[in-house]
Chain A
Amino acid sequence: SQQGEEDPQALSIQEGENATMNCSYKTSINNLQWYRQNSGRGLVHLILIRSNEREKHSGRLRVTLDTSKKSSSLLITASRAADTASYFCATVDYNQGGKLIFGQGTELSVKP
């Protein structure tokens, strides 16, 4: 079953702009991960944030987590055409065996 719901479903921006994607989930989690998927490189792990963390950075990526609201956001700064892809959040709940449960994804299009 799907856990996360991503918002928006699709996002179109110009190169250089920032892109923000949101993820909401329903159950308790141990950590939340973000993945990118495009036709060229398949599904790639971007960043993991633990339930006791509020914010994490990796290069141009910034992830926040609010466990009280059961939500997370992924910010991509200074976007590039190469960032065009689908972005998925995936939650992990050790009470469910620790497996990844993916959301439906946000389709990001960055226009040059």
Chain B
Amino acid sequence: EAGVAQSPRYKIIEKRQSVAFWCNPISGHATLYWYQQILGQGPKLLIQFQNNGVVDDSQLPKDRFSAERLKGVDSTLKIQPAKLEDSAVYLCASSLDTGTAYEQYFGPGTRLTVT
């Protein structure tokens, strides 16, 4: 079974530039998550989708971050404009359905460096 795919794996940009990350979840998984993991910390949930609807985006900085999951499969996360403090690993995860009875499977992440 193919895992969660993410691209790019690494990205370096200057502050005030824009960047987009892509995630392809495990086939058949209805729920998709984006996490931000700053160096030395645990992952923090940014947004959760159920199919193509948003379940939780309470910790997404909506003035600069946006995410979409068109057609309920792939998802993109965008930052515009980026700040130095956005340097982090962005993890995508998916699960069969919403709820903690369903294990979350994580992708390899995209390491973003903002200079």
Do most interface residues of chain B lie in helix, strand or loop, or is the interface mixed? Answer: loop
Do most interface residues of chain A lie in helix, strand or loop, or is the interface mixed? Answer: strand
Docked-complex contact B42 and A42, CB < 8 angstroms = no
B72 within 8 A of A: no
B79 within 8 A of A: no
Given contacts A30-B100, A44-B106, contact A99 B41 (CB under 8 A): no
Q: How many residues of B contact A (CB 8 A)?
A: 22
Closest-by-CB residue of A relative to B103 is A45
Docked-complex contact A99 and B106, CB < 8 angstroms = no
Taken residue by residue from 34 to 56, chain B's Cβ proximity to chain A (1 for < 8 Å, 0 otherwise) reads as 00000011111100100000011
B112 within 8 A of A: no
Docked-complex contact A42 and B41, CB < 8 angstroms = no
Q: How many residues of A contact B (CB 8 A)?
A: 23
Taken residue by residue from 86 to 112, chain A's Cβ proximity to chain B (1 for < 8 Å, 0 otherwise) reads as 001010100001111111110000000
Residues in chain B near residue A88, CB distance under 8 A: 42-43
Docked-complex contact A48 and B100, CB < 8 angstroms = yes
Cross-chain contact of A100 among B45, B55, B107 (Cβ < 8 A): B45
Closest-by-CB residue of A relative to B109 is A42
A31 within 8 A of B: yes
Residues in chain A near residue B107, CB distance under 8 A: 42
Residues in chain A near residue B43, CB distance under 8 A: 43, 88, 100, 102
Residues in chain A near residue B55, CB distance under 8 A: 97
Residues in chain B near residue A100, CB distance under 8 A: 43, 45, 100, 104
Cross-chain contact of B44 among A44, A102, A105 (Cβ < 8 A): A102
Residues in chain B near residue A33, CB distance under 8 A: 100
Q: List chain B positions with a Cβ less than 8 A from chain A.
A: 40-45, 48, 55-56, 58, 91, 93, 98-100, 103-109
Q: List chain A positions with a Cβ less than 8 A from chain B.
A: 1-2, 4, 30-31, 33, 42-45, 48, 88, 90, 92, 97-105
Given contacts A42-B91, A44-B106, A105-B42, 15 further A-B contacts (CB under 8 A): A1-B44, A2-B44, A42-B109, A43-B106, A88-B43, A90-B42, A97-B56, A98-B99, A98-B100, A99-B48, A100-B100, A101-B45, A102-B41, A102-B42, A103-B42
